[in-house]
Amino acid sequence: SLDVSTLTRQTGLTALDYGFVNTASTQSEITYIDGNQGILRYRGYPIEQLAENSTYLEVAWLLIYGSLPSADELAEFDEKIRRHTLLHEDLKRFFSALPHTAHPMSVLSSAVSALSTYYEGTDPDDVELTMVRLLAKLPVIAAYAHKKSLGQAFLYPDNSLSFVDNFLRLNFGNMAEPYDIDPTLSKALDRLLILHEDHEQNASTSTVRLVGSTGANLYSSISAGIQALSGPLHGGANEAVLQMLAQIRDSGEGVGKFVERVKRKEDGVKLMGFGHRVYKNYDPRAKIVKQSADEVLAGLGVADPLLDIAKELEQFALEDEYFKERRLYPNVDFYTGVIYKAMGFPTRMFTVLFAIGRLPGWMAHWREMNLDPQTKIGRPQQLYVGEAERRYPGV
């Protein structure tokens, strides 16, 4: 690899790289991806092993601090997070000021930005505490965004419950009766969160690093990352996949005709949940999610025709020259929506679940960047192609 910043400084040349296809913005020790072989490792551990054996909070610790926590470290981390789940009561007024039609991703990003106003002057000097607060409060804010869209009362967190169980209760419980945790659901959600925890320099993580490189605090950086994730070419794809599957079902046009429209690039229509900037063989997360989809739907006793459409669509695309030539395969988002739907989440909550998953990765990168003595403010170059100097009329 070439250190382009040194080269450009020495030669005065500027590298033009739309979409940063070939330009590394940093060195990192957090996540390794081999896109040709379909390998993903967090701090050296294969994603398959972590998804099978670990938990969301254990992986969060691993990403942030670089090694798996001891039993005592994990217990202490878990306990701290349980003690920080409550939101300031005034935030209720913040939620009530937003329209109930607001997209939960916008609510999430705005509320995280608002958190910095409550902790200004204290947390920025205490990054460890800020990370604990964010891990504890993001799921609560997410559940409130969900409840608000339904017009239902917010529940207070129950800190006797595990991270995932607490989150499920806040989303699906109500004031009137106790909420029974379904272990199938709990385990499946924990696994999906692990799969989303980091993915090196993707668009939202790069956003978090870029904002953080200016010296902005962690709340502001994460709030910007949530907005970057919301786009349909990034985290928003999980929502878009389900809309696409429902549209294929409702239109009755059939999978074959839909794929033909994608190949003709009719109205820019894409096969959502397919393709990836880095994976050109397969996305190892998609393999795990596809397997989970069958297990979870069977475990929850849900039969969803959208899962059958998704499988037919995948088969169709994998055998088609257009997709083969361009090395387009299902990415992590292709099957997650079907699982989230079976769990009872509305489509507009899907990307919010992705954001909760990705939070530890964002924070690990923000922290790594701040500890790296080589870090500079992110400031890309441009190639100016506009008008040369012009004279203002009459001057």
10 Å CB burial of residue 3 (0-12, 13-18, 19+) is exposed
Q: Per rule CB under 6 A, is residue 271 in the interface with ligand ACO?
A: yes
What sign has the CA pseudo-torsion 296, 284, 341, 135? positive
Stretch that binds ligand ACO, among 79-87, 118-126, 180-188, 328-336 (CB under 6 A): 328-336
Establish how many alpha carbons lie within 13 A of residue 108's alpha carbon, considering only the half-sphere containing its beta carbon: 30
Question: Which residue, 234 or 287, is less far from ligand ACO as judged by CB?
Answer: 234
Q: Which residues are catalytic?
A: 276, 333
Alpha-carbon separation of residue 341 from 35, 246, 286 (angstroms): 29, 12, 17
Instruction: Return the beta strands (E) in 31-172 as ranges.
Output: 31-34, 39-42, 45-46
User: Which range of residues in 120-128, 145-153, 248-256, 267-275 is near ligand ACO by CB under 6 A?
Assistant: 267-275
Residue 157, token pair as written in the block: 């967190």
Among all residues, whose Cβ is closest to ligand ACO?
275
Q: In angstroms, give the least distance from the CB of 330 to ligand ACO.
A: 9
Give residue 19's region: left, alpha or beta (phi > 0; psi -120 to 50). Answer: left
Per-residue binding letters, 211-250, with ligand ACO (x by CB under 6 A): ----------------------xxx-x-------------
Residue closer to ligand ACO, measured from CB, 211 or 271: 271
335 binds ligand ACO (CB under 6 A): no
Q: Output the six-digit token pair for 53.
A: 């054996």
> Nearest distance from residue 352's CB to ligand ACO, in Å?
14
Question: Which x/- pattern over 19-48 shows residues binding ligand ACO (rule: CB under 6 A)?
Answer: x-----------------------------
**Binding of residue 164 to ligand ACO (CB under 6 A):** no
Rg of the chain, C-alpha, whole Å: 22
Full DSSP string of 218-263? HHHHHHHHHHHHTSTTTTTHHHHHHHHHHHHHHH---HHHHHHHHH
Is 287 a binding residue for ligand ACO by CB under 6 A? The answer is: no
Residue in this structure with the two tokens 């239109």, named with its chain if needed? 251
Considering only the stretches 121-129, 244-252, 327-335, 363-371, report the one whose residues sit in contact with ligand ACO under the rule CB under 6 A. Answer: 327-335
Residue 157 interacting with ligand ACO (CB under 6 A): no
Residues lying near ligand ACO in the complex (CB under 6 A): 19, 233-235, 237, 262, 270-277, 326, 328, 331-333
